[in-house]
Chains A and B, each alone.
Chain A
Amino acid sequence: MKKIPLLPRYFRWIGVGLVLLSVLVYIHQKLLPDTSNFYFMKTFALIMDYPMSNGRVDYFSITEPYDMRLTIQLFLSLLGLTFLAFAKNKIEDEMINSIRLYAWSWSVILMIVYVLGITLFVYGFTFISFYYFIPHLLIVVYSIIFYVNLLKLNRKGNYEE
Protein backbone atom coordinates (compact mmCIF):
# COMPACT_ATOMS: atom_id res chain seq x y z
CA MET A 1 0.00 0.00 0.00
CA LYS A 2 1.27 3.45 -0.87
CA LYS A 3 1.93 5.51 2.21
CA ILE A 4 1.28 9.23 2.58
CA PRO A 5 4.55 10.96 3.52
CA LEU A 6 4.10 12.35 7.04
CA LEU A 7 6.30 14.17 9.51
CA PRO A 8 7.17 12.87 12.99
CA ARG A 9 4.68 13.75 15.76
CA TYR A 10 6.83 16.45 17.35
CA PHE A 11 6.43 18.59 14.21
CA ARG A 12 2.93 19.37 15.50
CA TRP A 13 4.50 21.39 18.33
CA ILE A 14 6.98 23.06 15.99
CA GLY A 15 3.97 23.99 13.82
CA VAL A 16 2.10 25.49 16.77
CA GLY A 17 5.25 27.45 17.67
CA LEU A 18 5.64 28.82 14.14
CA VAL A 19 1.98 29.87 13.89
CA LEU A 20 2.23 31.61 17.28
CA LEU A 21 5.45 33.28 16.14
CA SER A 22 3.71 34.63 13.03
CA VAL A 23 0.95 36.03 15.28
CA LEU A 24 3.61 37.66 17.48
CA VAL A 25 5.27 39.20 14.40
CA TYR A 26 1.86 40.55 13.35
CA ILE A 27 1.27 42.10 16.80
CA HIS A 28 4.84 43.45 16.97
CA GLN A 29 4.70 45.16 13.58
CA LYS A 30 1.35 46.73 14.50
CA LEU A 31 2.92 48.20 17.64
CA LEU A 32 5.89 49.69 15.77
CA PRO A 33 5.67 53.32 14.62
CA ASP A 34 5.03 53.84 10.89
CA THR A 35 8.54 55.21 10.43
CA SER A 36 10.24 52.08 11.82
CA ASN A 37 12.61 50.15 9.54
CA PHE A 38 12.66 47.09 11.78
CA TYR A 39 11.32 44.70 9.14
CA PHE A 40 13.20 46.23 6.23
CA MET A 41 15.98 43.93 5.16
CA LYS A 42 18.03 42.96 2.17
CA THR A 43 16.91 39.77 0.53
CA PHE A 44 17.69 37.53 -2.42
CA ALA A 45 14.57 37.78 -4.52
CA LEU A 46 12.77 38.67 -7.70
CA ILE A 47 11.02 42.00 -7.21
CA MET A 48 8.90 43.57 -9.93
CA ASP A 49 6.62 46.28 -8.67
CA TYR A 50 6.85 48.58 -11.64
CA PRO A 51 3.10 48.96 -11.99
CA MET A 52 3.03 50.24 -8.41
CA SER A 53 4.93 52.64 -6.15
CA ASN A 54 8.56 53.26 -7.12
CA GLY A 55 8.83 50.93 -10.08
CA ARG A 56 11.53 48.72 -8.56
CA VAL A 57 12.78 45.73 -10.59
CA ASP A 58 15.30 43.19 -9.22
CA TYR A 59 15.95 39.91 -10.99
CA PHE A 60 16.92 37.34 -8.35
CA SER A 61 19.66 39.37 -6.79
CA ILE A 62 20.47 40.86 -3.40
CA THR A 63 17.86 43.58 -3.24
CA GLU A 64 17.75 46.94 -1.54
CA PRO A 65 16.16 46.76 1.94
CA TYR A 66 12.59 45.62 1.39
CA ASP A 67 9.55 45.53 3.67
CA MET A 68 9.46 41.91 4.84
CA ARG A 69 6.51 42.06 7.24
CA LEU A 70 4.04 40.22 5.05
CA THR A 71 6.68 37.77 3.78
CA ILE A 72 7.70 36.77 7.31
CA GLN A 73 4.12 36.38 8.49
CA LEU A 74 3.00 34.38 5.45
CA PHE A 75 6.11 32.19 5.51
CA LEU A 76 5.96 31.38 9.23
CA SER A 77 2.23 30.76 9.30
CA LEU A 78 2.21 28.59 6.17
CA LEU A 79 5.16 26.51 7.35
CA GLY A 80 3.56 26.13 10.79
CA LEU A 81 0.19 25.09 9.36
CA THR A 82 1.90 22.63 7.02
CA PHE A 83 3.73 21.03 9.94
CA LEU A 84 0.44 20.80 11.84
CA ALA A 85 -1.37 19.22 8.89
CA PHE A 86 1.37 16.73 7.98
CA ALA A 87 2.42 15.61 11.46
CA LYS A 88 1.69 11.98 12.26
CA ASN A 89 -1.13 11.07 14.60
CA LYS A 90 -0.73 8.87 17.65
CA ILE A 91 -2.16 5.99 15.66
CA GLU A 92 -1.79 5.81 11.89
CA ASP A 93 -3.73 3.18 10.02
CA GLU A 94 -5.67 2.81 6.79
CA MET A 95 -8.87 4.32 8.17
CA ILE A 96 -7.03 7.44 9.36
CA ASN A 97 -5.53 7.66 5.86
CA SER A 98 -8.99 7.42 4.31
CA ILE A 99 -10.22 10.24 6.58
CA ARG A 100 -7.14 12.24 5.56
CA LEU A 101 -7.93 11.70 1.87
CA TYR A 102 -11.58 12.66 2.46
CA ALA A 103 -10.49 15.87 4.23
CA TRP A 104 -8.06 16.79 1.42
CA SER A 105 -10.72 16.16 -1.23
CA TRP A 106 -13.23 18.44 0.50
CA SER A 107 -10.70 21.15 1.20
CA VAL A 108 -9.64 21.22 -2.48
CA ILE A 109 -13.31 21.38 -3.58
CA LEU A 110 -14.00 24.23 -1.13
CA MET A 111 -10.89 26.10 -2.28
CA ILE A 112 -12.01 25.88 -5.89
CA VAL A 113 -15.39 27.30 -4.84
CA TYR A 114 -13.54 30.06 -2.92
CA VAL A 115 -11.31 30.91 -5.90
CA LEU A 116 -14.30 30.93 -8.27
CA GLY A 117 -16.14 33.17 -5.80
CA ILE A 118 -13.36 35.72 -5.45
CA THR A 119 -12.63 35.64 -9.19
CA LEU A 120 -16.22 36.59 -9.89
CA PHE A 121 -16.92 38.97 -7.05
CA VAL A 122 -13.65 40.58 -5.92
CA TYR A 123 -11.75 43.13 -8.03
CA GLY A 124 -8.73 45.41 -7.74
CA PHE A 125 -5.92 44.98 -5.22
CA THR A 126 -8.27 43.30 -2.75
CA PHE A 127 -8.32 40.37 -5.16
CA ILE A 128 -4.56 39.89 -4.66
CA SER A 129 -4.89 40.01 -0.88
CA PHE A 130 -7.63 37.36 -1.05
CA TYR A 131 -5.27 35.25 -3.17
CA TYR A 132 -2.43 35.43 -0.59
CA PHE A 133 -4.29 33.19 1.80
CA ILE A 134 -5.34 30.36 -0.49
CA PRO A 135 -2.69 27.87 0.74
CA HIS A 136 -3.39 28.84 4.36
CA LEU A 137 -7.11 28.39 3.90
CA LEU A 138 -6.59 25.07 2.13
CA ILE A 139 -4.64 23.71 5.10
CA VAL A 140 -6.96 25.23 7.72
CA VAL A 141 -10.06 23.76 6.03
CA TYR A 142 -8.30 20.40 5.66
CA SER A 143 -7.32 20.41 9.36
CA ILE A 144 -10.84 21.31 10.51
CA ILE A 145 -12.46 18.54 8.42
CA PHE A 146 -9.82 15.99 9.43
CA TYR A 147 -9.92 16.69 13.16
CA VAL A 148 -13.73 16.97 13.31
CA ASN A 149 -14.00 13.54 11.66
CA LEU A 150 -11.36 12.11 13.95
CA LEU A 151 -13.18 13.50 16.97
CA LYS A 152 -16.48 12.03 15.79
CA LEU A 153 -14.80 8.68 15.28
CA ASN A 154 -13.20 8.73 18.73
CA ARG A 155 -16.46 9.68 20.36
CA LYS A 156 -18.36 6.89 18.60
CA GLY A 157 -15.61 4.36 19.20
CA ASN A 158 -15.10 5.10 22.87
CA TYR A 159 -17.37 2.35 24.01
CA GLU A 160 -16.86 -1.24 23.00
CA GLU A 161 -20.15 -2.94 22.15
Chain B
Amino acid sequence: MTATRLALTLTVALGLGASAVAAADKPDPVADAKAFQQFFVRKFPKVAFDDFVNGPYSMNEDMRRQWEEKEQFPPYEFALEAGKEMFSKPFKNGKTYADCFPNGGIGIRQTYPYFDDKEGKVVTLELALNRCREANGEQPYSYVKDEMAALTAYMAFTSRGKRFDIKIPDDPRALEAYENGKEYFYTRRGQLNFSCASCHIQSPGERIRAETLAPALGILNAMPIYRSEWSGMGTTSRRFVTCNSQTRAVPLEPQSDEYRNLEYYLSYVSNGLPVSGPGARP
Protein backbone atom coordinates (compact mmCIF):
# COMPACT_ATOMS: atom_id res chain seq x y z
CA MET B 1 0.00 0.00 0.00
CA THR B 2 2.81 2.35 0.95
CA ALA B 3 4.72 1.40 -2.19
CA THR B 4 1.62 2.07 -4.32
CA ARG B 5 1.17 5.50 -2.71
CA LEU B 6 4.84 6.31 -3.22
CA ALA B 7 4.64 5.32 -6.88
CA LEU B 8 1.47 7.41 -7.33
CA THR B 9 3.05 10.44 -5.64
CA LEU B 10 6.16 10.13 -7.80
CA THR B 11 4.06 9.84 -10.97
CA VAL B 12 2.04 12.95 -10.07
CA ALA B 13 5.19 14.88 -9.15
CA LEU B 14 6.93 13.92 -12.37
CA GLY B 15 3.82 14.79 -14.35
CA LEU B 16 3.59 18.22 -12.73
CA GLY B 17 7.28 18.77 -13.31
CA ALA B 18 6.95 17.90 -16.97
CA SER B 19 3.95 20.21 -17.32
CA ALA B 20 5.89 23.05 -15.71
CA VAL B 21 8.77 22.55 -18.13
CA ALA B 22 6.37 22.37 -21.06
CA ALA B 23 4.62 25.55 -19.87
CA ALA B 24 7.97 27.35 -19.53
CA ASP B 25 8.92 26.35 -23.07
CA LYS B 26 5.58 27.23 -24.63
CA PRO B 27 5.73 30.53 -26.50
CA ASP B 28 3.80 33.28 -24.78
CA PRO B 29 3.98 36.43 -26.91
CA VAL B 30 1.71 38.40 -24.57
CA ALA B 31 4.00 37.77 -21.59
CA ASP B 32 7.06 38.43 -23.79
CA ALA B 33 5.75 41.82 -24.92
CA LYS B 34 4.85 42.80 -21.37
CA ALA B 35 8.32 41.87 -20.05
CA PHE B 36 10.01 43.55 -23.03
CA GLN B 37 8.17 46.84 -22.55
CA GLN B 38 8.60 46.80 -18.76
CA PHE B 39 12.34 46.34 -19.20
CA PHE B 40 12.64 49.60 -21.13
CA VAL B 41 10.21 51.53 -18.97
CA ARG B 42 12.21 50.55 -15.87
CA LYS B 43 15.58 51.15 -17.52
CA PHE B 44 14.54 54.61 -18.74
CA PRO B 45 12.02 55.92 -16.21
CA LYS B 46 12.28 59.47 -17.56
CA VAL B 47 11.38 58.53 -21.11
CA ALA B 48 7.65 58.76 -21.88
CA PHE B 49 6.33 55.47 -23.28
CA ASP B 50 5.36 56.90 -26.68
CA ASP B 51 8.75 58.60 -26.97
CA PHE B 52 10.60 55.29 -27.42
CA VAL B 53 9.62 55.43 -31.11
CA ASN B 54 11.99 58.37 -31.48
CA GLY B 55 15.01 56.15 -30.91
CA PRO B 56 18.21 57.94 -29.88
CA TYR B 57 16.37 61.27 -29.59
CA SER B 58 14.47 59.90 -26.61
CA MET B 59 17.80 59.20 -24.86
CA ASN B 60 19.86 62.32 -25.60
CA GLU B 61 18.68 65.89 -25.07
CA ASP B 62 21.20 67.52 -27.45
CA MET B 63 20.36 65.14 -30.26
CA ARG B 64 16.67 65.73 -29.61
CA ARG B 65 16.98 69.51 -30.00
CA GLN B 66 18.87 69.12 -33.29
CA TRP B 67 16.29 66.65 -34.55
CA GLU B 68 13.39 68.91 -33.63
CA GLU B 69 14.96 71.68 -35.66
CA LYS B 70 15.59 69.35 -38.58
CA GLU B 71 11.95 68.29 -38.50
CA GLN B 72 11.02 71.80 -39.71
CA PHE B 73 12.38 70.70 -43.09
CA PRO B 74 12.69 66.94 -42.69
CA PRO B 75 15.19 65.16 -44.92
CA TYR B 76 12.64 62.46 -45.81
CA GLU B 77 10.27 64.99 -47.36
CA PHE B 78 11.37 64.35 -50.95
CA ALA B 79 10.86 60.62 -50.52
CA LEU B 80 7.48 61.24 -48.96
CA GLU B 81 6.31 63.34 -51.90
CA ALA B 82 7.71 60.85 -54.41
CA GLY B 83 5.98 58.02 -52.54
CA LYS B 84 2.65 59.80 -52.59
CA GLU B 85 2.91 60.34 -56.33
CA MET B 86 3.99 56.75 -56.99
CA PHE B 87 1.22 55.40 -54.79
CA SER B 88 -1.51 57.10 -56.77
CA LYS B 89 -0.02 56.60 -60.24
CA PRO B 90 -1.82 53.71 -62.00
CA PHE B 91 0.09 50.63 -63.21
CA LYS B 92 0.07 49.86 -66.93
CA ASN B 93 -3.10 47.83 -66.40
CA GLY B 94 -4.88 50.82 -64.86
CA LYS B 95 -4.93 49.50 -61.30
CA THR B 96 -3.08 51.11 -58.39
CA TYR B 97 -1.51 50.06 -55.09
CA ALA B 98 -4.79 51.00 -53.42
CA ASP B 99 -6.41 47.98 -55.11
CA CYS B 100 -4.05 45.60 -53.29
CA PHE B 101 -4.56 46.79 -49.72
CA PRO B 102 -7.37 47.11 -47.22
CA ASN B 103 -8.70 50.66 -46.87
CA GLY B 104 -6.96 51.55 -50.12
CA GLY B 105 -3.60 51.28 -48.35
CA ILE B 106 -4.24 54.41 -46.26
CA GLY B 107 -3.62 54.30 -42.49
CA ILE B 108 -2.76 50.59 -42.37
CA ARG B 109 0.99 50.58 -41.61
CA GLN B 110 0.39 49.65 -37.96
CA THR B 111 -1.00 46.22 -38.93
CA TYR B 112 2.15 45.11 -40.79
CA PRO B 113 3.70 42.60 -40.75
CA TYR B 114 0.91 40.07 -40.49
CA PHE B 115 0.81 36.29 -40.60
CA ASP B 116 -0.73 34.98 -43.80
CA ASP B 117 -2.44 31.70 -42.99
CA LYS B 118 -2.66 30.66 -46.65
CA GLU B 119 1.06 31.02 -47.24
CA GLY B 120 1.91 30.01 -43.69
CA LYS B 121 4.44 32.84 -43.46
CA VAL B 122 4.89 36.41 -42.32
CA VAL B 123 4.07 39.12 -44.87
CA THR B 124 5.73 42.50 -44.43
CA LEU B 125 4.61 45.77 -45.99
CA GLU B 126 7.61 45.78 -48.32
CA LEU B 127 6.83 42.27 -49.49
CA ALA B 128 3.14 43.08 -49.96
CA LEU B 129 4.07 46.12 -52.08
CA ASN B 130 6.28 44.10 -54.40
CA ARG B 131 3.70 41.33 -54.62
CA CYS B 132 1.15 43.97 -55.59
CA ARG B 133 3.46 45.18 -58.34
CA GLU B 134 4.11 41.69 -59.66
CA ALA B 135 0.40 40.78 -59.56
CA ASN B 136 -0.19 43.80 -61.76
CA GLY B 137 2.52 42.98 -64.28
CA GLU B 138 5.17 45.34 -62.90
CA GLN B 139 8.79 44.60 -61.98
CA PRO B 140 9.50 44.39 -58.23
CA TYR B 141 11.53 47.14 -56.62
CA SER B 142 14.75 46.75 -54.65
CA TYR B 143 13.79 46.11 -51.04
CA VAL B 144 16.39 48.32 -49.49
CA LYS B 145 15.96 51.92 -50.68
CA ASP B 146 14.74 54.38 -53.32
CA GLU B 147 11.25 53.54 -54.60
CA MET B 148 10.47 51.01 -51.85
CA ALA B 149 11.56 53.48 -49.18
CA ALA B 150 9.46 56.21 -50.80
CA LEU B 151 6.33 54.05 -50.97
CA THR B 152 6.64 52.81 -47.40
CA ALA B 153 7.39 56.37 -46.25
CA TYR B 154 4.09 57.53 -47.68
CA MET B 155 2.15 54.60 -46.24
CA ALA B 156 3.74 55.15 -42.81
CA PHE B 157 2.94 58.85 -42.98
CA THR B 158 -0.75 58.14 -43.56
CA SER B 159 -0.64 55.98 -40.40
CA ARG B 160 1.24 58.35 -38.11
CA GLY B 161 0.01 58.22 -34.55
CA LYS B 162 -1.82 54.92 -35.04
CA ARG B 163 -0.65 52.33 -32.56
CA PHE B 164 1.10 49.15 -33.65
CA ASP B 165 -1.45 46.37 -33.67
CA ILE B 166 0.34 43.23 -34.79
CA LYS B 167 -1.66 40.04 -34.45
CA ILE B 168 -0.44 36.54 -33.80
CA PRO B 169 -3.27 34.22 -34.79
CA ASP B 170 -3.94 30.98 -32.96
CA ASP B 171 -1.87 29.02 -35.43
CA PRO B 172 1.22 27.01 -34.49
CA ARG B 173 2.96 28.25 -37.63
CA ALA B 174 2.46 31.87 -36.56
CA LEU B 175 3.83 31.12 -33.11
CA GLU B 176 6.79 29.36 -34.69
CA ALA B 177 7.48 32.36 -36.93
CA TYR B 178 7.33 34.62 -33.85
CA GLU B 179 9.66 32.35 -31.89
CA ASN B 180 12.11 32.15 -34.79
CA GLY B 181 12.10 35.94 -34.99
CA LYS B 182 12.86 36.13 -31.30
CA GLU B 183 15.70 33.62 -31.65
CA TYR B 184 17.18 35.65 -34.50
CA PHE B 185 16.99 38.83 -32.41
CA TYR B 186 18.90 37.35 -29.48
CA THR B 187 21.38 35.22 -31.46
CA ARG B 188 24.97 36.44 -31.60
CA ARG B 189 26.47 36.45 -35.06
CA GLY B 190 29.36 37.82 -37.06
CA GLN B 191 33.01 37.99 -36.11
CA LEU B 192 32.18 40.69 -33.56
CA ASN B 193 29.84 38.23 -31.80
CA PHE B 194 26.97 40.71 -31.51
CA SER B 195 23.26 40.00 -31.46
CA CYS B 196 20.61 42.61 -32.22
CA ALA B 197 20.04 42.61 -28.45
CA SER B 198 23.71 43.40 -27.71
CA CYS B 199 23.17 46.92 -29.02
CA HIS B 200 19.45 47.55 -28.75
CA ILE B 201 18.69 45.85 -25.41
CA GLN B 202 21.94 46.01 -23.49
CA SER B 203 23.22 49.38 -24.67
CA PRO B 204 20.52 51.81 -25.89
CA GLY B 205 21.54 55.39 -25.23
CA GLU B 206 25.21 54.37 -25.20
CA ARG B 207 27.59 55.24 -28.00
CA ILE B 208 29.14 52.80 -30.40
CA ARG B 209 31.73 54.85 -32.21
CA ALA B 210 29.88 58.03 -33.23
CA GLU B 211 26.38 56.57 -33.05
CA THR B 212 23.94 56.66 -30.16
CA LEU B 213 22.17 53.32 -30.06
CA ALA B 214 18.39 53.23 -30.27
CA PRO B 215 16.26 51.11 -27.96
CA ALA B 216 14.74 48.00 -29.53
CA LEU B 217 11.35 49.05 -28.22
CA GLY B 218 9.68 51.06 -30.98
CA ILE B 219 12.67 50.80 -33.31
CA LEU B 220 10.52 49.75 -36.29
CA ASN B 221 7.79 52.30 -35.64
CA ALA B 222 9.96 54.98 -37.27
CA MET B 223 10.65 53.01 -40.45
CA PRO B 224 11.53 53.82 -43.16
CA ILE B 225 14.20 56.32 -42.18
CA TYR B 226 16.43 58.89 -43.73
CA ARG B 227 19.95 58.30 -42.42
CA SER B 228 22.64 60.88 -42.80
CA GLU B 229 25.12 57.98 -42.75
CA TRP B 230 23.42 56.56 -45.86
CA SER B 231 22.83 59.99 -47.42
CA GLY B 232 19.38 58.73 -48.23
CA MET B 233 16.37 56.70 -47.27
CA GLY B 234 16.43 53.09 -46.12
CA THR B 235 13.79 50.48 -45.44
CA THR B 236 13.51 47.97 -42.62
CA SER B 237 15.28 45.49 -44.90
CA ARG B 238 18.17 47.91 -45.29
CA ARG B 239 18.39 48.34 -41.52
CA PHE B 240 18.63 44.57 -40.95
CA VAL B 241 21.18 44.06 -43.72
CA THR B 242 23.34 46.91 -42.43
CA CYS B 243 23.18 45.68 -38.83
CA ASN B 244 24.38 42.26 -39.91
CA SER B 245 27.24 43.70 -41.99
CA GLN B 246 28.34 45.88 -39.09
CA THR B 247 28.87 42.78 -36.96
CA ARG B 248 30.85 41.24 -39.85
CA ALA B 249 28.14 38.71 -40.57
CA VAL B 250 27.17 38.05 -44.17
CA PRO B 251 23.67 39.58 -44.44
CA LEU B 252 20.78 37.42 -45.56
CA GLU B 253 18.69 38.24 -48.61
CA PRO B 254 16.18 41.03 -47.93
CA GLN B 255 12.79 39.52 -47.11
CA SER B 256 14.31 36.14 -46.30
CA ASP B 257 12.20 34.12 -43.86
CA GLU B 258 14.57 35.06 -41.03
CA TYR B 259 14.21 38.81 -41.60
CA ARG B 260 10.45 38.53 -42.02
CA ASN B 261 10.20 36.64 -38.72
CA LEU B 262 12.51 39.13 -37.01
CA GLU B 263 10.29 42.00 -38.15
CA TYR B 264 7.25 40.11 -36.88
CA TYR B 265 8.79 39.63 -33.42
CA LEU B 266 10.15 43.16 -33.09
CA SER B 267 6.90 44.71 -34.26
CA TYR B 268 4.79 42.56 -31.96
CA VAL B 269 6.74 43.50 -28.83
CA SER B 270 6.27 47.17 -29.79
CA ASN B 271 2.48 46.83 -29.95
CA GLY B 272 0.76 49.85 -28.46
CA LEU B 273 3.40 52.33 -29.59
CA PRO B 274 2.47 54.81 -32.32
CA VAL B 275 3.75 54.83 -35.89
CA SER B 276 6.24 57.70 -36.22
CA GLY B 277 7.65 56.92 -39.65
CA PRO B 278 9.07 58.10 -41.84
CA GLY B 279 11.88 58.99 -39.50
CA ALA B 280 15.27 60.66 -39.64
CA ARG B 281 18.40 59.40 -37.94
CA PRO B 282 22.05 60.54 -37.90
A and B are interacting partners: no
Interface residues of B (CB under 8 A from A): none
